[in-house]
Structure 1
Amino acid sequence: MLSVGYSVLAILFSLILNHVVSTWRFNRKYKLPNVVPGWPIIGNTLDVPYPAGMWGKEMAKKYGEIRLVYLNSSRVVTDLLEKRAAIYSSRPFRPMLSDIMSAGARMVFMGYTDKWRNQRKIMHSILNGRQAEAKFVPFQNLEAKQLVYDVFVDPENYQKASQRFSNSVILSVIFGRRARKDDELLQFILGYTGVLGDFQFNPLKSPADVFTWLDKLPRPLQWWRPFGEKFCKTHVAMFQKEWDLLIDKMDKGIAKPCFAIDVLNGAAKKEFEIDNIEKIYTWTSLVEAGSDTSRIAILQTIAGAACYPEWTKKARGFLDEVCGANAERLPSLADRPKLPYITAVMKETLRWRPFLQSGVPHTLTKDDEYEGYRFPAGTEFSWNAYSIALDENEYANPLVFNPDRFMNGNLDKWAQGHWSFGAGRRICVGLNVGANNIWIAAACLLYCFNFEEDPDYPIDQLNTVWEDPTKPPFKVKITPRSEAHIALIKSEGAIALAADY
């Protein structure tokens, strides 16, 4: 018994000594920024709340401009994620989230690989080609008509109108069909995106994504795998239904031009190589990205209009000049060149409260040095979105919603001045579609309605849970501007309600 006890002590001593020596060697070779104190082994994994916006801002204030994981100023985001994008564009290894739950094909979780580059090239060629805007803009203009009608009919549940608009636009762009009432696919998406977010941000959900060595266990010992495999199988089956429906429409000659058809035709003509699972995940990656981001941004535009009414008067003045002070017609995306202030509104929405309160991590692919720090390959970097947006060194009066800050020479560079579309080579490939969504929604809502904060229920501008799609994130009084605007809303709404494809 004594010899066994000594053996155990010897093993423990060896493990401790190995950890001490490894740490000493690591610290000699690398120099990291200020690290927030955390727990042994797991560090700060359990400390980050969700949503993490205001927590990240406080950490930035306490620990400085740059630290492990979070980059707390646009300067360092630009220097590392933009200027050194060649080595700062991969993703953390997440065996459960990426490989098991997503079949290794969900683009947002992929590393900086040939498969990722191939998918991105396909998306870029279709979404940003010469014909892309002409193909997708009619969908957006139509859904904006129903957006204002839905808000008019049920102003207290304005979040439902935002959700239907965003989802129907992205389904039209990807699959060439509008969102139906009680849409099965959309209900499915609302359910599983929350699960994906939970697995991405809650380490207790997926031990294999925290302790990645668990992925090397024999499959029968991977107790988390059955859930992930079932999740993936259900996901693929649901989107296969959408594929089958589209094929049927194509056979009948009634399919609308859309992204999925372009992918199918391009693959058939050998313009690019993509297998069937990748096709499904290429479509679903865009559906996931396009639905939630636009929905949240519209809610934030409404909050900004209610909290800071001064800029809305200015915006309405410009809208009235173009569309008529007596509600002659709704704005359309063809009006963008004549309404630069609405473009500034769109950019300020994305700056004011980023819909991703902290960016999705980028992973360094080889050792690097920056301003005296030495980072090992595998270090994860993310921009601290709320901290940057609320930093007085970056923006004058950052708490205030003020579109005028973007009325400058970079106005038409939609991704400049904020980080909502991402950074470097991971910037959102569908940013033109997303920006147009926010632009047309803002233009039509501001043209048709007044927004007032409820004095009994002031809007919490900093800690609102924008992400919850089941209820309004804040109380707001929404009223039509005039009887003429009511008539316009009804007539345009009738056109939208009659459209079915």
Structure 2
Amino acid sequence: MIPSLGYAVLLIIGSFVLNLVVSKIRFNRKYKFPNVVPGWPIIGNMLDVPYPAGMWGVDMAKKYGEMFTLNIGGRRLVYLNSSRVVTELLEKRAAIYSSRPYRPMMSEIMSGGARIVLMGYTDKWRNQRKIMHSILNGKQSEKKFDDELLNFILGYTGTLGEYQFNPLKSPADVFTWLSRLPKPLQWWRPFGEKFCETHVAMFQKEYNILLDKMNKGIAKPCFAVDVLHGAAKKEFEISDVEKIYTWTSLIEAGSDTTRVAVLQMIAGAACYPGWARKARDLIDEVCGQNAERLPNLADRSRLPYISAVVKETLRWRPFLQSGVPHTLTQDDEYEGYKFPAGTEFSWNAYSIALNDKEYSDPLRFEPERFMNDDLKLPAKGHCRRICVGLNVGANNIWIAAACILYCFDIEQDPEHPIDQFNTLWEEPTKPPFKVRFTPRSQAHIDLIEREGNIALATDY
């Protein structure tokens, strides 16, 4: 009896192993991936990807080419390392390359299933994107700003970044089968639930304040008001939690990406001061050498060089060192490669930006490279998926860059040179580098103080 049972167990195990081997053979015959990076059994390359991954991606692209494939705990992630393949796959084939990986921790637990950047290509995603597109584009993108949750948001964006890009932080997002364990055994869940609970409570507090202002007729025009007005008029169907996450997502995206980009612009001005002096002289021609007024968005047509500065800022050191992964929703074939549905794709932003085949002298901060016919198209020349808030982000960076360059001289600190390649720009709680800021004159100091006092006195 016992030997028979032993034979039966061995037969079951053998059948299971045989089935795995046959399935793998069939899979390998049907599909073909770009250069596959060797990894460890089971976990694959999970321990190989650092955070942030910018310069790692540059080295990997040099070694493995225009596209390479990682195994992240059984999930296949294809890195795209040129603007050519990014355009061909993520843009021209966006209809099947625009979904997101299933992330039970980040998306469902930490974000209540309502954070758009983590959603799959679903009706809920399309609904939120439609809302954001209607709010963020057109003239209103130049007029509406909302500061309500800024300090709170900047305090947790680093956490979101780590959980998004560091597979060690969120095991259930790598091995998604872990989410089927009984809840008491999901050791990562308490942190995620507390994170979501804290954030929804904070957002709800601000939401209630805004509703009270709207009821009293004293709410200022802003994105959040547009979301609530649209929902009230049944322009779109959206739950209360989604309302909260929709407008806080707008603030999250606009505040953090703008902050990082402005830091990178400042580093570029310190490391390559020639272009900054040129920009200052051009702004002087419009706003006066004696600090008559700050530049504003109405000056853009007279200051095309500042628009080129914005584009070069986004090119020189992309604020996302590697893109948030997208998921293929159906089998696809490209240049001899065959990808199964579920394959993940990310673009290698740093390797593209620093490639001399993409840009001449790519290490330099050189706005002149964008003084061409594509100047008025913020996304043209950058290998990033088109963001629904692109216009707002570009406007924010433009006005911040123009005002900083107009009012300050920026220099490197000789004792603390800026590491242009390995700086953790995304860290929100401490300065990423040291730099010398000097007001140009007392008149500029007075102008900054006057405008600052007006901003502080404004009731939002």
- Scaled by the length of structure 1, the TM-score of the pair is 0.86
Cα separation, 1, equivalents of 2:422 and 2:166: 19
Native 8 Å contact 1:120 1:429 kept in 2: yes
Would you say the 8 A contact 2:271–2:418 is kept in 1?
yes
DSSP 3-state at the match of 2:66:
coil
Distance between the aligned counterparts of 1:110 and 1:216, measured in 2? 19
Task: Map residues 318-329 of structure 1 onto 2, 5 A cutoff.
Answer: 318-329=282-293
SS in 2 for 1:392: coil
Give aligned-pair identity as a percent. Answer: 77
Other-structure match for 1:454: 413
Aligned match of 2:92: 83
> Hey, what's the Cα distance between the residues in 2 that align with 1:193 and 1:330?
30
- Alpha-carbon separation, structure 1, partners of 2:36 and 2:424: 27
Map of 1:248 onto structure 2: 212
What residue in structure 2 maps to residue 356 of structure 1? 320
Where does residue 149 of structure 1 map in the other structure? none
Task: Quote the offset at 1:490 in angstroms.
Answer: 2.7
SS at match of 2:96: coil
- Correspondence 1:500 to 2:448: no
1:13 is matched with which residue?
Answer: 14
Please show how residues 429-448 of structure 1 align to structure 2 within 5 Å.
429-448=388-407
Q: Distance in 1 between matches of 2:3 and 2:274?
A: 80
State yes or no: 1:56 paired with 2:57: yes
User: Which residue of structure 1 aligns with residue 114 of structure 2?
Assistant: 105
**TM-score for both structures, normalised by structure 2:** 0.94
* Cα distance between partner residues in 2 of 1:368 and 1:89: 13
Decide whether the 8 Å contact of 1:459 with 1:474 is kept in 2.
Answer: yes
- Shift in Å at residue 465 of structure 1? 0.8
Task: Please give the per-residue CA displacement for 1:162-221, whole angstroms capped at 9, x wherever unaligned.
Answer: xxxxxxx542xxxxx5xxxxxxx4443234323322222222332221121233334444
Contact 1:170-1:291 within 8 A present in 2 as well: no
Deviation at 1:256, TM superposition (A): 0.3
Name the SS of the counterpart of 1:86 in structure 2: helix
Superposed CA deviations along residues 281-323 of structure 1, whole A, max 9, x for unmatched, are 1012112211111111111011000100111121112101111
Q: Distance in 1 between matches of 2:439 and 2:293?
A: 14
- The answer to whether the 8 Å contact 2:51/2:162 transfers is no
Letter in 2 for 1:92: P
Per-residue deviation, 1:333:
1.0
Alignment of 1:258-407 (within 5 A): 258-407=222-371
- Provide the C-alpha distance between the structure 1 equivalents of 2:173 and 2:270, rounded to a whole number of angstroms: 41
Match of 2:427 in 1: 468
After superposition, the Cα gap between the structure-2 partners of 1:100 and 1:497, relative to the gap in structure 1 and judged at 3 Å, is: closer
Aligned length: 451
Deviation for aligned residue 1:475: 1.3
Ranges in structure 2 where 5+ consecutive residues have no aligned partner: 70-77
In structure 2, how many angstroms separate the alpha carbons of the residues matched to 1:224 and 1:413? Answer: 43
Amino acid at match of 1:116: W
Shift of 1:89: 0.4
Report the equivalent of 1:483: 442
**1:433 shift after superposition:** 1.0
User: How far apart are the structure 2 equivalents of 1:44 and 1:242?
Assistant: 42
Aligned pair in 2 of structure 1 residues 497, 219: CA closer, same or farther (>3 Å)? closer
**Alignment map for 1:111-130 (pairs within 5 Å):** 111-130=120-139
Could you report, residue by residue, the CA deviation over 1:372-425 in whole angstroms, capped at 9, with x for unpaired residues?
100000000010000000000000000000000000000000011113xx31xx
CA distance in 1, matches of 2:216, 2:379: 40
> CA RMSD, aligned part only?
1.8
Deviation at 1:469?
Answer: 1.9
Alpha-carbon shift at residue 478 of structure 1 (Å): 1.0
Going from structure 1 to structure 2, the CA distance change for 1:340 and 1:35 (only over 3 Å counts) comes to: same
Query: Per-residue deviation at 1:493?
Result: 2.6
CA offsets 1:47-83 (integer angstroms, 9 cap, x no match): 1000100001100000000122210000000000011
Stretches of 4+ aligned residues off by more than 6 angstroms:
none
One-letter identity of the residue aligned with 2:107: S
Structure 2 counterpart SS, 1:70: strand
Contact 1:170 1:290 in 2 (8 A): no
Residue 121 of structure 1 deviates from its aligned partner by 0.3
How far off its partner does 1:233 sit? Answer: 2.1
Letter of the 2:135 counterpart: I
Structure 2 residue matching 1:478: 3-state secondary structure: strand
Higher relative contact order structure (alpha carbons within 8 Å, sequence separation ≥ 6): 1
Q: Does 1:72 align with 2:92?
A: no
Distance across 2 between alignment mates of 1:388 and 1:114: 32
